């Protein structure tokens, strides 16, 4: 078996337990546990897993994930307030939209290409060491300023609906193609260029 979907099966999972021999499915490539009211996860050891869907649960924290081949992780619409020490060397897409994140740090995600953090409660952003990141979505947060972003492959940056009064220099974003800053404060300053909305 390479794909397993247990979507909206919360009563079944509560009866059998979340790990219910999933660990035995070591050839599994895709696991969907969305919409199950899960409040915690076991420490999965699924060496071949590439896609893990956990959206629409009630997760408040994450265990250490030993998923060396994971490429996609969807945690959209949970109750996460923070996370750290996320070490997923092959992850390409991380969706953390619609959580309660106020901060995060220690992302060891060298192959990450897409990071979604919209609709959280972020007030600041750490320095991001994500050399392959192409899309960063930070809309609908509480950001007032950002550090200078050194993301050489970033193509899209979405900062809509924050509280920015200025944004950092764009010098270190040589491949940026789309910058979205709608619905921030009325007055933004980019270097010496003033932009009015």
Q: How confident is the model at residue 12 (pLDDT cuts 50, 70, 90)?
A: very low
Euclidean distance between the first and final Cα of the chain, in Å?
Answer: 53
Quote the CA–CA distance of 92 and 112 in Å, as a whole number: 4
Find out whether 106 and 127 touch, Cβ atoms under 8 Å.
Answer: no
Quote the CA–CA distance of 74 and 35 in Å, as a whole number: 12
Q: Residue 187 pLDDT > 60, yes or no?
A: no
Query: In the prediction, which pLDDT does 197 show?
Result: 40
Q: Residue 160 pLDDT > 90, yes or no?
A: yes
Q: Residue 79 pLDDT > 90, yes or no?
A: yes
Over residues 32-41, the pLDDT tens digits come to: 999 999 999 8
User: Which pTM does this prediction carry?
Assistant: 0.86
Q: What is the mean pLDDT of residues 140-168?
A: 90
Q: Residue 21 pLDDT > 60, yes or no?
A: no
Average pLDDT, the chain: 84
Q: Residue 191 pLDDT > 60, yes or no?
A: no
């Amino acid at each position: 078996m390479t794909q397993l979907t247990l979507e909206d099966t919360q009563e079944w999972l509560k009866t059998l337990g979340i790990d219910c021999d999933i660990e035995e499915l070591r050839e599994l490539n895709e696991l969907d546990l969305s919409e199950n009211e899960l409040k915690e996860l076991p420490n999965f050891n699924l060496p071949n897993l590439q896609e893990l869907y956990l959206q629409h649960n009630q997760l408040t924290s994450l265990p250490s994930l030993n998923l060396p081949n994971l490429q996609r992780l969807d945690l959209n619409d949970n109750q996460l307030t923070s996370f750290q020490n996320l070490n997923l060397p092959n992850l390409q897409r991380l969706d953390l939209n619609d959580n309660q994140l106020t901060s995060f740090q220690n992302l060891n995600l060298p192959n990450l290409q897409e990071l979604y953090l919209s609709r959280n409660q972020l007030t600041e952003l750490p320095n991001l060491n994500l050399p392959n990141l192409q899309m960063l979505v930070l809309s609908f947060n509480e950001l007032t300023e950002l550090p200078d972003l050194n993301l050489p492959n970033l193509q899209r940056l979405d900062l809509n609906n924050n509280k920015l009064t200025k944004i950092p220099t764009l010098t270190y974003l040589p491949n940026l193609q789309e910058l979205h800053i709608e619905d921030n404060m009325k007055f933004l300053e980019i270097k010496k260029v003033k932009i009015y909305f």
